[in-house]
Amino acid sequence: MFMSVFWYYRPEHTETDKLPRCISCEVFASKHRDVIPVNCIEDKCYVLTLNEYCRYRAELKRLEDHCPPRPPLVQAVDSPADLKPNRLPNTGVDPESVFLCRKVYDVKLKRVLKNPQIHSSP
């Protein structure tokens, strides 16, 4: 059995002259796609946007400070299509497997894109 995956790059694994300032858990998204055997997958990790990462870290801090958990926010939605799944990892997940992604690495041009245009198909 095989799986199609997109690659993420750690800053030190890029071939760029101008490396932006990064934090230790940061990775860059790419359009580099690969098909790999499922048995090559070692573990699950979480790649979060900046907002998601900040919410995750805030929740970890709340736990460390022994604060009560935040009550869930309930939003009115017009249809099930308006629901966005909660992509935040459980606070019991090893923080070493949680990454921040806010930039894209262009493998062909060998450069990091600050604000890439992401086009989703309808």
Identify the helix (H) or strand (E) that includes residue 60.
helix 50-64
Query: For residues 60-70, b (16+ Cβ closer than 10 Å) or e, as one string?
Result: eeeeeeeeeee
Bridge partner residues of 68 (DSSP): none
Region 19-40: mean pLDDT is 90
CA–CA gap between residue 58 and residue 52 (Å, rounded): 10
Length of the chain (residues) = 122
Beta strands in 10-97 (DSSP E): 26-37, 46-48
In angstroms, the CA 45 to CA 97 distance is: 5
The residue ranges of every structural domain in the chain are 2-69+85-113
SS3 (DSSP) at 95: helix
pLDDT digits (tens, 9 = 90+) for 34-82: 999 999 999 989 999 999 999 999 989 998 998 887 776 666 566 565 5
Does the domain formed by 2-69+85-113 have CATH 3.30.70.890?
no
**With contact defined as beta carbons under 8 Å apart, do 8 and 28 qualify?**
yes
Residue 121: what pLDDT? 45
pTM: 0.76
